[in-house]
Amino acid sequence: MSAITAYIGLGSNLGDPAANLHSAIAQLAGADGVALRGVSRFYVSKPMGPQDQPDYVNAVICVQTRLDAHALLQTLFAVERAHGRVRDASQRWGARTLDLDLLLYGDQVIATPDLHVPHTGIGERSFVLLPLADLAPRQVFPDGRTLHACLQALACDDLQPLS
């Protein structure tokens, strides 16, 4: 299998969120079949869903991988578990030590029970789009929408770069 460019969203709002992201990035960079190609700036954002939780720190990384999308997803889950994440379907949009999302996997569209690529809602989430723009400002999504057009449709005033 030839290498595929993939983008992964990272988020954390428990413990030391920036340290959690740095640790996850290091772990992913050392994973078999994954080569780190870029890291966005870190951004502070308000949580999706319940507002009675701490703000998030979000980022996006670019990797080259020889793993298929499902194997890469399993790698992401392993990194989350290593950071104390317990996936609980009843806790959607709750506070978490680490959240890793496979945003894009080449130009593929994947719809299986456990994986949707591009990630659901990618074009409506400023905490994904702004960091993605740091790495791939000319990105065109598989449905033909451009990152630029999606960003123009959002205020993006809910994010602040982490100093």
Active site residues: 85, 96, 99, 101
Give Cα separations from 134 to 36, 65, 82, 96, 138 (angstroms). 15, 20, 27, 24, 10
CA angle 97/100/103 to nearest 5° reads: 155
**153, two tokens:** 């449709």
79 burial type by CB count under 10 A (0-12 exposed, 13-18 middle, 19+ buried): buried
DSSP state of 59: E
Q: What is the DSSP string of 68-114?
A: -HHHHHHHHHHHHHHTT----GGGTT---S-EEEEEEETT--EEETT
* Paired tokens of 79: 């990194």
